[in-house]
Amino acid sequence: MNDTLFQINNLSVILYAFHLCQDLTQEPGQLRQDADQLWQNCANLSEPLDIEELKSLPKEIQSYSTQTPTTSRHVKLLPRPLVVKESDPKVKVEPHQIDDTYALDLTLQYENVTVPTSKFSKLNPQGCLLASNIQASLGQTLILYVQQADNPQEDKKLADACVDAFLKTTEQQHPFFITSGQLFGSPIFEYDNLQEKHSEQCHILVCLDRHEKTLDLHKKTYLPFLTLLCCRSKILFAYHEARYCYRKTRRLYAKLEKEVQLFKKLPTDPEARLKRLKQKLTQIPPQMFEYGRYLRDIEDHKTAIATNTKNYDYWLGKICESSLQGDDLEFLENFLNQTCQQFQNQIQVDLNYLTPGQQLFEQMLGTIRGIVEIEQAQSDRALAKALREKEEAAEKREKQLEEIRLKEEKTAEEREKRLQLWIALVGTGLAVSSISSQTDAKPVKAILKQIYYPHQSFDCPKAGLNPCLLYSGVYVLFHVGVGAIAALVVGGCIWLISKIKIDN
């Protein structure tokens, strides 16, 4: 569009950026590690904007903050705005803390000069004021102020030309025209690229100053308007985080759903089934914990949206109190009545979908634990039975070996006794035979004479060879027989005595 069609006065750009400086995981009053990132990134604008004074901003804020305790919900982090009037454009910086959020108000202005709309590109060289460069964790809003003769037919074209010129030197995707309204007697146009991620957002308001009270009423409602935009950024941020958690939870839901399907296809072998179930008991709980944490975070973001929606409504009421007759604040009311309600409804739908899944997975985990306990108990009983049977078999085998050993010992003992008995009997027989042989031999001679040779003499050697031999043989047999009889008598006595002992 030809810049000569729109010559504008008192051109200015206001950057409202919001950065979280505290969170719920920290103690009250403790700041996040990246809390001062917003001030540092603002100081980095000194190079593209060629404003050396911006470099001192972080140190000045730190110096003043250490001397001023933050006890109220809204605190100015500098005693007065940092103003650089000698620069071109003029610069004003106001840092604030609103509850747990740092808020930056950076204003660049060409005052009392008529310029074409292309001058806006000088206020945003290389896109230095865009969200991708400022990196405010909660997002930001850019307001383009211009003064121009009353020409309602050209207002939309003028607003478009201002946005085009502001983004001319950047690769930023141009935001869409959302709606228009009237604030403090002047037309206002809203543009947004509707991105969830804070570093990709581009929210721009173009205000055409046409009423004598517009500037004064803006100053009067400075805090309500700043806080309202802060609430808006918090709501968008909370919704973006809730959607992030939802996507993560859906992935976990898909994984756990697969576990449910695999649960139906367990091995039939008890040992393999127990091993698989134990693996699930170690794999599923961390996923369940993460699933529950994401659900908790979604609930927290839902609460944050509800809280900031109420705050947005409150500060919108404060702005309405200062509005003029004929003002149209529908562009602000639509965010409250439509967008915020849509966010809350969507999050509730997500929770309605995901919460029963948590209950199902908890039941599955409980079922697995129960099966593992039963299977483990059965396995333990089977193992105990096997060990018991093994012990009994070992005891039985030991008993058999002991019986064999005792039997062998008994056999050896009996063999020893028999040997001793035989030795005793032989010894007794020999002893008796020896004693018997020392006695007189007349009975033998008498017997021989009586049986064989009544008239034969058996005196050797004169009796002759045959009688002597016969006599000697009979003599020996006689005494051996006496010894044998004695041995049998002794053996019978020993047997009788041992039997009596056994019976007793």
pLDDT in tens, the chain (504 residues): 445 567 888 899 999 999 999 887 777 778 888 889 999 999 999 999 988 889 999 999 888 766 555 557 889 999 899 998 888 889 999 999 998 999 999 999 988 888 888 888 889 998 999 999 999 999 999 999 998 766 777 889 999 999 999 998 888 788 999 999 999 999 999 999 988 888 889 999 999 998 889 999 999 999 999 999 999 999 999 999 999 999 999 998 888 887 777 767 777 776 777 777 777 777 777 888 888 899 999 999 999 999 999 999 999 999 999 999 999 999 999 999 999 999 999 999 999 989 888 887 777 777 777 777 776 777 777 778 888 888 888 888 888 888 888 888 888 877 777 777 777 767 776 676 666 555 555 565 556 555 555 555 555 555 555 556 555 666 666 666 766 777 677 777 776 776 676 666
Q: Is residue 492 part of a domain?
A: yes
Terminal-to-terminal C-alpha distance of the chain? 135
Do residues 58 and 191 both lie within one domain? yes
Closest to 12 measured CA to CA, from 130, 117, 103: 117
Do residues 245 and 216 both lie within one domain? no
In this prediction, residue 71 carries a pLDDT of 58
In this prediction, residue 432 carries a pLDDT of 65
What is the distance between the alpha carbons of residues 331 and 463, in angstroms, rounded to a whole number? 169
What is the distance between the alpha carbons of residues 189 and 453, in angstroms, rounded to a whole number? 172
Q: Is residue 422 part of a domain?
A: no
What's the pTM? 0.74
Q: Is residue 206 part of a domain?
A: yes
Q: Is residue 94 part of a domain?
A: yes
Count of all residues that appear for the chain in the document = 504
In this prediction, residue 67 carries a pLDDT of 58
In this prediction, residue 1 carries a pLDDT of 45
Token pair for 112: 């009392």
In this prediction, residue 301 carries a pLDDT of 95
Cα 349 off chain centre by: 26
Q: Is residue 269 part of a domain?
A: yes
Using the 3D structure, point to which of 160, 195, 220 is the last residue of a domain.
Answer: 220
Do residues 216 and 242 both lie within one domain? no
Contact 93, 106 (CB under 8 A): yes
In this prediction, residue 226 carries a pLDDT of 96
Backbone φ and ψ of 208, nearest 5°: -100, 105
Do residues 243 and 304 both lie within one domain? yes
Residue listed under structure tokens 């996507």: 247
Q: Is residue 413 part of a domain?
A: no
Do residues 286 and 241 both lie within one domain? yes
Structural domain boundaries, residue 321: 236-382
